[in-house]
Amino acid sequence: MQKFLQKMPFLIELFLNGSYIILYSLFKHSSMLDEYPHQLIETILHSTALMVPFSIFFILMVNYMSSRSFESFMRKHVFSLFVFFPLVIMWGDLQFTFLLSSAHLISSIFILYEKDEIRPAPTSVATRSWFKSLSLKPAQAVIISFVGLSVFGAMLLMLPLSTISKDGIGFVDALFMSSSATCVTGLTTVSLTEDFSLFGQIIILLLIQVGGLGYMTLSSSLTILLGRSIAIREKLMMQDLLGVNSQENLSDMIVDIVKYTFFIELWGGILLSLGFFFMEDYELSSAIYYGIFHSVSAFCNAGFALFDNSLVNFASNPVINFTIMGLITFGGFGFIVLRELRDVALHKKSIIRLSLHSKIVLSTSFILTIFGTLIIFFGEYLHALDAYSLWDKIQISIFQSVTLRTAGFNTIELGHLHSYTLYAMMLFMFIGASPGSTGGGIKTTTLAILYQSIRATLRGDKDVRIFKRTIAPETILRVTALTFISIVIVTMSIFLLMKVETKQTLMSIMFEVVSASGTVGLSLGITSFLSASGKIAITIVMLIGRMGPLTLILALGDRGKRIDGVEYPVGKTMIG
């Protein structure tokens, strides 16, 4: 009986909300029911839709009465509040009610209703949700969080409130845009300004922020802010994800990540707002909005812009250009590097005492930026950059090289570039940003270790050394496997898209796939012309690109030790 009472709120929601979801799906999407009177259908749908807010309100009251404290109630059921109040505001809107009730029902099934006992006895055991009872590895948790966030974001973007047109956008486009924002990619099938309302743009901005930081990082930071300790299992997950060796430093690292993010984005937003207001003559409110949006998008390496031609109109604006470049660079370094750079700025640590990780990230990022700038500058000096002044040519070349760190902005039309310049850009996009950052790609440290491994092999050295430190053989094996698997994924994705999109050129398809897999967001203009199958394929590539390298590293790191005690003799084979 006690278990039945604990599950009663969920059973009520399953009956009332589930009934409305089924009725809406039948009457709105089935041509077999055309013989029913239209007025009768509307009456039934409106009647059941009005019951949804009441059911969620009842569930909230029951959960509040059964919670140990208000803090515990807010921590576990805050999502229900976020659903309830919009339902009241949009009372009677059928599509809005359908989407939010579906999202709430899904959340109820998986995660949010882990009950507190009203009077827990010493021998009582709290009821555990099915989702939390799973022994998820960090890689699996990352996959579920990104996929779930993408689907939930798609449902929000399908709301009439999110689009300018009353008809809204289709599910495929909504899922593509949501996945692109969650994976901080920046590829778009519809226009942010012409198709999305202010509400829809804010939803995309929130998805960028959550996707850039990572759902698990944000949830852990909220737990810390609420004054609660992180569970041991969650600590182990976050320790693997952030690369922190000690659990004592984990909470500090999570808090620092959130502080660095909002501090950098705030100052980036201020500088961009000043650039839009004083140098581009935007109204103050528009300048502030554009400044905040592009600051978040740049730091998270998302590449979403509120202009259909990205930032081409601001190619000669040094304030906007160098602010965006700074945000992209800081976001691509990773939070571990930012933390050490802060210590250097505060004279707590000298540059020569930076960790090996930071030295590799800083040096590799600098070299890649210089090489990219030179390739674009000299390759396009008398071609795409011919109409610009010398200073603008330098500025555009640096900007476009920096944005290849998976940011996705562009200040020059990519379709005007030489094919060899585009090919070189694909190589840089494939490399991407650095570990622990908001960017994608195989990462700068992977390239550095792979290069030093090849160099050591050619020189006949036994060990691979970087900055007078020896790289562990296990790390070299993971780097090699990660690079090879990434190449295979990109190659297979290009082959698949060639079969689906026969009207597109090979260069456009290759550029699109590499951009999606590296979560860059640059495109030669074919994204909006892809078929539904092509959009779904690119969506999957974006998700793999955002989760793939991290997931692969964690999967390779979770290998169990041999327990059979058997060692096989060394075999020899010819290579090369």
- Torsion, Cα 198 178 172 33, to 10 degrees, reads -70
DSSP state of 528: G
348 class by beta-carbon count within 10 Å (0-12 exposed, 13-18 middle, 19+ buried): exposed
Residue 465: beta bridge partners? 470
Give the CB-side neighbour count of residue 383, counting CA atoms within 13 A.
17
In whole angstroms, what is the distance from residue 328 CA to residue 242 CA? 20
Q: The tokens 């959009």 sit on which residue?
A: 535
In whole angstroms, what is the distance from residue 430 CA to residue 440 CA? 9
Model pLDDT for residues 482-521, shown as the tens digit of each residue? 898 899 999 999 999 999 999 999 999 999 999 999 999 9
Name the helix (H) or strand (E) containing 466.
Answer: strand 465-466
Q: The tokens 């990109």 sit on which residue?
A: 490
Q: Which two tokens stand for residue 478?
A: 């993971």
Q: How far is CA 257 from CA 213, 260, 335, 418, 460, in A?
A: 8, 5, 6, 39, 41
Spatial CB neighbours of 466, under 8 Å, sequence gap ≥ 6: 356, 359, 360, 448, 449, 452
pLDDT at position 326 is 96
Contact 171, 158 (CB under 8 A): yes
Q: Characterise 282 by phi-psi region: left (phi > 0), alpha (psi -120 to 50), beta (else).
A: beta
Instruction: Report pTM.
Output: 0.78
Residue 470: beta bridge partners? 465
Q: Burial letters for 132-149: b for 16+ Cβ neighbours within 10 Å, e otherwise?
A: eeeeebbbbbbbbbbebb
pLDDT at position 226 is 43
Q: Burial letters for 1-35: b for 16+ Cβ neighbours within 10 Å, e otherwise?
A: eeeeebeebbebbeebbeebbebbeebeeeeeeee
Q: Characterise 62 by phi-psi region: left (phi > 0), alpha (psi -120 to 50), beta (else).
A: alpha
Q: Which two tokens stand for residue 360?
A: 């590799």
Q: How many CB atoms lie within 10 A of CB 466?
A: 19
CA distance between the termini of the chain = 71
3-state SS, residue 255: helix
Which of 537, 298, 522 lies closest to 415 in space, CA to CA?
A: 522
In whole angstroms, what is the distance from residue 286 CA to residue 218 CA? 28
pLDDT at position 430 is 95
Q: Where are the beta strands (DSSP E) in 135-211?
A: none
In whole angstroms, what is the distance from residue 205 CA to residue 211 CA? 10
In whole angstroms, what is the distance from residue 48 CA to residue 61 CA? 20
In whole angstroms, what is the distance from residue 376 CA to residue 401 CA? 8
Q: Which two tokens stand for residue 93?
A: 């809107």
Q: Which two tokens stand for residue 527?
A: 């994204």
* Domain residue ranges in the chain: 1-117+129-134, 232-557
* Torsion sign, CA atoms 185, 187, 188, 194: positive
In whole angstroms, what is the distance from residue 296 CA to residue 412 CA? 21
Q: Which two tokens stand for residue 566?
A: 């058997």
In whole angstroms, what is the distance from residue 239 CA to residue 266 CA? 27
Q: How many CB atoms lie within 10 A of CB 373?
A: 18
Residue 196: beta bridge partners? 163
Q: The tokens 């090979």 sit on which residue?
A: 506
Q: Which two tokens stand for residue 417?
A: 């570039």
Give the CB-side neighbour count of residue 253, counting CA atoms within 13 A.
22
Which of 323, 334, 326 lies closest to 213 in space, CA to CA?
A: 334
- Point out the residues of the chain with pLDDT beneath 70: 1-10, 25-42, 70-72, 74-76, 91-92, 106-141, 214-251, 548-565, 575-576
In whole angstroms, what is the distance from residue 501 CA to residue 512 CA? 12
pLDDT at position 227 is 47
pLDDT at position 41 is 66
Q: Which two tokens stand for residue 424?
A: 């070189």
Spatial CB neighbours of 297, under 8 Å, sequence gap ≥ 6: 186, 205, 208, 303, 304, 305
pLDDT at position 152 is 81
In whole angstroms, what is the distance from residue 296 CA to residue 205 CA? 7
The angle, 0 to 180 degrees and rounded to 10, between the axes of the packed helices 94-110 and 38-66 is 40
